[in-house]
Amino acid sequence: MVEFLTALLSIVIIDLVLAGDNAIVIGLAARNLPKDKQKQVIVWGTVGAVVIRAAATLAVVWLLKIPGLLLVGGLILVWIAFKLLIEEKNHEVEAADSMWAAIRTIIIADAVMGLDNVLAVAGAAHGDFLLVVLGLLISVPIVVWGSTLFLKLMDQFPWIIYIGSGVLAFTASKMIVDEKLVKAFFAEPLIKYGFIVVVVAAVLLLGRWVKQKQSKTASSQS
């Protein structure tokens, strides 16, 4: 039960940190429409995006059972965790002039932006389809109605990003150590948990160092 709740909490945190930008995409796509249409676009665009994301995540959960893919997915997720700390966000989404065009824009943008989210959630779910569905049901309403606030909080308190990145790095390292091809190597608990700690610490420290370097370069150029 504790493992289930820990995985569920990881999924919700991953969804919030990686999908927080989706509210901005929704707002940008619908900004040219009348106010009464904007609400419909937000609802239907979100429904469409969630259906596609849920289907994609469930497919990835199934695919990760193929030997070797858990290791590959874990390595990709380590890079996503690192990228989360150093990447500057870019929201170049064209405003649509019709309701259906706006809905289409939201769904396509979410599908493209949500690839990292899909992999991360699938990894955190450890093959449990129920966890994927519960995670989406809990986090999607927060993303849609509360992510503007969440984004402001992330700007105000940068350590929130580090929590998200740490959860991603933890999920990635768990995927790697659970891979059947290398599981024997991590049979000793000290090696297994030592590896997880090293991966999480390396991602956070390296990410912080690169971010500080970027800030210094930006200030010297301005």
Instruction: State CA 100 to chain mean position distance.
Output: 26
pLDDT at site 198: 96
Q: How far is CA 191 from CA 99, 165, 170, 186, in A?
A: 54, 22, 15, 6
pLDDT at site 219: 76
pLDDT at site 13: 78
- How many Å apart are CA 78 and CA 164, to the nearest integer? 12
Interacting residues of 49 by C-beta distance below 8 A, sequence separation 6+: 22, 106, 107, 110, 111, 114
Q: Write out residues in the chain with pLDDT < 70, as ranges.
A: 18-32, 88-97, 106, 109-116, 139-155, 222
Q: 126, 64 in Cβ contact below 8 A?
A: no
Q: 6, 14 in Cβ contact below 8 A?
A: no
- How many Å apart are CA 94 and CA 30, to the nearest integer? 9
Two tokens, residue 75: 């390595």
The sign of the CA dihedral 79, 110, 166, 155 is positive
pLDDT in tens, 137-194: 776 666 666 545 655 666 677 787 888 788 888 888 988 998 888 888 998 999 999 9
